[in-house]
Amino acid sequence: MQKSELDNANPTIRDVSQLPSRRGKQAPVRRGPESKYDDLIFGKKQSSLGTFRRNVSSWPSDDEDEEDYADGFTQEPIDEQEIYDLISTISDPEHPHTLGQLSVINLADIHITPSPATRTAPDALHTVLVEITPTITHCSLATVIGLAVRVRLERALPPSYRVDIKMKEGSHAQDDQVNKQLADKERVAAALENDTLKGVIDKMFTTCTR
């Protein structure tokens, strides 16, 4: 990972004010089930398991839980903008800019299935697909960026969300290879036990202030 030259010395950079945001719209009030992810979003060392433990300890559901689920159901669903806000603020490992500024992450390349607009059963699984556009086609750090995005979302989202990370088609020379690595749960778990790699990723998260 130590390189004498940057992969792309002159990337195109977008001004923060040009990036997609919810400004001007009424920001949804965050409370109830969603506010408990705050400590995850703000804290770095906690594992996602710890935070969602509360939900799990009472499973399988009795009547009381059903009500809790019903409450969660009426909350604002997680949408693409919210995903964008979580990951566009991650720093590039090589440039002093965020993935949003470098257009590595784009709002149009975030897909949630089923769509947040659809009403779904409270225990239904959701899939978040994020297509990443590395700054140049042979960017050697694509895997690290993809890993950081996956880890960030897995920590921040409820456990019913499955995260799929892919290189945007044609954007990277070894698409399939990188995609397969990022989809491999066992490899991701092992990578996060590598202190060097973990350090790089934690550093990328320091700009995630939300």
Integer Rg of the chain from CA: 18
| Least gap, CB of 62 to another protein (angstroms) | 13
C-alpha to C-alpha distance for 127 and 129, rounded to whole angstroms: 6
Task: Decide whether 16 or 67 has the Cβ nearer to another protein.
Answer: 67
Closest CA to 107 of 24, 19, 25: 19
Task: Decide whether 97 or 187 has the Cβ nearer to another protein.
Answer: 187
Q: Max CA-CA distance within the chain?
A: 61
Cα–Cα distances in angstroms (integers) from residue 85 to residues 19, 75, 127, 141, 172, in the given order: 10, 18, 17, 21, 24
Task: Decide whether 48 or 81 has the Cβ nearer to another protein.
Answer: 48
Which residues, including other chains, have CB under 8 Å from residue 97's CB and lie 6 or more apart?
Answer: 11, 13, 91
Which residues, including other chains, have CB under 8 Å from residue 176's CB and lie 6 or more apart?
Answer: none
DSSP state of 37: G
For another protein, the binding residues (CB under 8 A) are: 47, 49, 53, 55-56, 59-60, 123, 125, 158-160, 162, 180, 183-187, 189-190, 193
Task: Decide whether 173 or 183 has the Cβ nearer to another protein.
Answer: 183
Task: Decide whether 67 or 184 has the Cβ nearer to another protein.
Answer: 184
| Least gap, CB of 68 to another protein (angstroms) | 12
| Least gap, CB of 195 to another protein (angstroms) | 10
| Least gap, CB of 98 to another protein (angstroms) | 29
| Least gap, CB of 186 to another protein (angstroms) | 7
